[in-house]
Amino acid sequence: GDTSALDSLLNTHIVKMLTDASIDPDEEFALMEEEYMRMGGADYIAWYNDMMIQDE
């Protein structure tokens, strides 16, 4: 699949992860990629953005 959208999402996410020591980045990336492939790019990004909004 095309992961270019995922890459830009991850760049944003990296900053959040680096400020949270309890998260293992490698594990998190693998999980995100898996979900991305399963849900499809657009659905995943919509879901992710909803999740981030709730986080704030």
Mean pLDDT for the chain? Answer: 79
Query: How large is the greatest C-alpha to C-alpha distance in the chain, in angstroms?
Result: 30
Structural domain boundaries, residue 39: 4-55
Nearest to 9 by CA among 56, 22, 35, 38: 35
pLDDT for 56 = 60
Handedness of CA 27, 22, 8, 5 (dihedral sign): positive
pLDDT for 19 = 76
Q: How many domains in the chain?
A: 1
Q: Quick: pLDDT tens for 1-28.
A: 567 777 777 777 777 777 777 878 788 8
Q: Could you give the percent of the chain with pLDDT greater than 70? A: 89
pTM: 0.49
Query: What H or E segment, with its residue span, contains residue 37?
Result: helix 25-39
